[in-house]
């Protein structure tokens, strides 16, 4: 298992953020097949903790869903950017908090069936209030909630964003 021969790769679309690639592959013991791959930069998400019993969440409109989602701060990596530095940058841009401590807590593949995106998870503490500085196309509302409320929001569907659910569970259930 795991031996895959790439027969052909064709880029069919290249945009500002995504590249759509069509790969023809041959896995051991299987007929040739086609995979449509969305190649995107890797990203970071930050579980920011003003106190050990609280987390920062943001509300942001996500056009693909047609609605405002409750999320942890996150963002894409710039080419060759260190994920830890990206986490520091994204946290301050989106929440107006600078982290005194930024600890890596692992990561996960977002949608490995068709995208290349790997999400690095960080936990931020020792927060100091600065100024929010979102990207020019972002409107963000910042909320601080208890860990208990964050779990309840996952359970009752107020948090539906997969990166937020995964990273909150990864950090808040850590022993």
User: What 8-state DSSP symbol labels residue 115?
Assistant: B
Please tell me whether residues 78 and 59 are part of one structural domain. Answer: yes
Number of domains in the chain: 2
Please tell me whether residues 14 and 64 are part of one structural domain. Answer: no
Please tell me whether residues 48 and 114 are part of one structural domain. Answer: yes
1 has a pLDDT exceeding 70: no
Q: Which domain holds residue 14?
A: 4-39
Query: Cα separation of 93 and 137, whole Å?
Result: 12
Please tell me whether residues 86 and 73 are part of one structural domain. Answer: yes
Please tell me whether residues 33 and 57 are part of one structural domain. Answer: no
Please tell me whether residues 21 and 60 are part of one structural domain. Answer: no
Decide if 33 contacts 110 (C-beta within 8 A): no
Please tell me whether residues 96 and 71 are part of one structural domain. Answer: yes
Q: Exactly one of 94, 117, 136, 141 is catalytic; which is it?
A: 136
Decide if 41 contacts 76 (C-beta within 8 A): yes
User: Known catalytic residue: 136?
Assistant: yes
Strands 19-27 and 4-14: antiparallel
Identify the pLDDT of residue 134. Answer: 66
pLDDT in tens, 4-57: 999 999 999 999 999 999 999 999 889 999 999 999 999 999 999 999 999 999
Please tell me whether residues 121 and 158 are part of one structural domain. Answer: yes
- With cut-offs at 50, 70 and 90, classify the pLDDT of residue 108: very high
Mean pLDDT of 62-87: 97
CA 168 remoteness from chain centre: 11
Strands 140-146 and 54-62: antiparallel
Please tell me whether residues 91 and 27 are part of one structural domain. Answer: no
Please tell me whether residues 24 and 53 are part of one structural domain. Answer: no
Q: Which of 100, 96, 99, 101 is nearest to 130 (CA)?
A: 96
Q: What CATH code is carried by the domain that includes residue 97?
A: 3.90.79.10
pLDDT in tens, 127-164: 999 987 767 777 899 999 999 999 999 999 999 999 99
Please tell me whether residues 81 and 98 are part of one structural domain. Answer: yes
User: What 8-state DSSP symbol labels residue 139?
Assistant: -
Please tell me whether residues 32 and 76 are part of one structural domain. Answer: no
């Amino acid at each position: 298992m795991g031996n895959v021969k790439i027969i052909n790769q064709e880029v069919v679309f290249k945009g500002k953020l995504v590249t759509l690639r069509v790969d023809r592959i041959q896995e051991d013991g299987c007929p040739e097949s086609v995979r449509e791959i969305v190649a995107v930069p890797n990203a970071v998400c930050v579980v920011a903790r003003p106190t050990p019993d609280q987390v920062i969440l943001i509300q942001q409109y996500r056009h693909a869903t047609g609605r405002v989602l409750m999320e942890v701060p996150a963002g894409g990596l710039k080419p060759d950017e260190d994920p830890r530095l990206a986490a520091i940058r994204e946290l301050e841009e989106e929440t107006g908090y600078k982290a005194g401590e930024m600890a890596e807590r692992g990561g996960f593949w977002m949608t490995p069936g068709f995208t290349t995106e790997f999400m690095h998870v960080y936990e931020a503490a020792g927060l100091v209030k600065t100024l929010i500085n979102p990207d020019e196309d972002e409107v963000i509302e910042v909320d601080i909630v208890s860990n208990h409320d964050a779990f309840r929001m996952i359970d009752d569907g107020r948090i539906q964003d997969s990166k937020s659910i995964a990273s909150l569970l990864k950090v808040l259930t850590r022993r």
